[in-house]
Amino acid sequence: MKDLVVSKLRIWDSRSGAALVEDSSFTVKAGKCLAIVGESGSGKSLTCRAIMRLNKAGLRQSGDIWLGDIKLTALTEKEIRRIRGTKLCLILQNGMRAFDPSSTIGSSVRETLAWHYGWSRSEMIGKMAKAMTAVKLDDYLRILNSYPHQLSGGMLQRMMIALAIVLEPEVVIADEPTTALDTVSQFEVLQQFALLRERLGCTMVFVSHDLGCVKKLADEVLIMKNGVIVEKGAASDIFHAPRHDYTRYLVTAKTSVNQHFRRLMGGDSFVFH
């Protein structure tokens, strides 16, 4: 496993010249989980897509991004496509966007695996069946023969995690993966991300505005506001001794919501942890 290093990343709109992410630098140590936290429009998703080289054509970026000794920002489009999946894997917020709506899940999965590996159809199905069982998608044949709209958001997220298990990437980037899910599905998907990390030993970038999710997964936390990193540090420091006013606001707001919920439910004895 290798460190992921982002150095002086700047992202701007080529038409207006407006800066969307400004001078962003951070390192994710091999095998660790970095959470990027901030409100909508803070630059979290743009940063993730910049690492994957997937930002829209109208956006430009500068700065360097390294995965070990591989300079991702210097690769050709063909070269970066080859390592998306096997070295870098992006798990999206909306599972419906990850799969071709006109094809079955199985067809999309086979196309992805065929691009990277020379496995036979039976090998692909065997590996996917094992991975799907690991993420509690037991009826794998029905799911592989289903279209995306026939599955719930939680099932699609777990399907993306299962595919990551088979691809075995060095870095998993999860961009708001629990936002569109109900509370029960959020809990289940978070568990699967923890197990994915444990199973692969991979480096992880977990993007969220939900500090509850972050607290369960992250070793380090990076706080973004208006395209700028305002604070970064160990998760324990961020939650217990935040330095920046905006970080204190986020932590205080989360604590206030939790306390209000406990009062409504009649105290701690009625709250599941």
Does residue 94 lie in a domain region? Answer: no
Strands (E), the chain: 4-13, 19-28, 33-37, 59-67, 70-71, 88-91, 171-175, 203-208, 220-225, 228-234
Does residue 120 lie in a domain region? Answer: yes
3-state SS assignment for residue 96: helix
53-97 tens-digit pLDDT: 999 989 999 999 999 999 999 999 999 998 998 899 999 877 777
Does residue 88 lie in a domain region? Answer: no
pTM of the model: 0.85
CA angle 122, 130, 186 (to 5 degrees): 130
Given this model, what pLDDT does residue 268 score?
53
Given this model, what pLDDT does residue 27 score?
97
Does residue 210 lie in a domain region? Answer: yes
Does residue 89 lie in a domain region? Answer: no
Does residue 93 lie in a domain region? Answer: no
> Which tokens in the block code for residue 204?
């992880």
Does residue 139 lie in a domain region? Answer: yes
| Number of domains observed in the structure of the chain | 1
CB 95 within 8 A of CB 157: yes
Q: How confident is the model at residue 259 (pLDDT cuts 50, 70, 90)?
A: very low
98-140 tens-digit pLDDT: 888 999 999 999 999 998 888 999 999 999 999 999 888 989 9
Does residue 92 lie in a domain region? Answer: no
3-state SS assignment for residue 170: coil
In whole angstroms, what is the distance from residue 71 CA to residue 174 CA? 21
CATH number at residue 46: 3.40.50.300
**Could you list the residue range(s) of the whole structural domain that residue 40 is in?**
4-81+100-267
